[in-house]
């Protein structure tokens, strides 16, 4: 039982890390999806 929880913990952390790594691509590459979202919204990071 304890061994199964260890694997579950590793899997959950790996999934979270994978999702965070994907967001870095969108944040730092100025991907077209991100540019579109911020250009159509009323608030954009460049207006701060």
Query: What pLDDT does 44 receive?
Result: 53
pLDDT value, residue 46: 59
Is the pTM above the cut of 0.75?
no
Quick: pLDDT tens for 2-47: 788 899 999 999 999 999 998 888 778 887 887 787 778 776 555 5
The DSSP symbol for 30 reads: T
CB distance 26 to 33 below 8 Å: yes
The domain spans of the chain are 2-39
Question: Do 40 and 33 form a contact (C-beta atoms < 8 A)?
Answer: no
């Amino acid at each position: 039982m304890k061994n199964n929880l260890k694997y579950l913990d590793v899997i959950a952390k790996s999934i979270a890390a994978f999702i965070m790594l994907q967001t870095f691509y969108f944040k730092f590459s100025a991907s077209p999806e991100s540019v579109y979202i911020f250009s159509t919204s009323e608030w954009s990071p460049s207006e701060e």
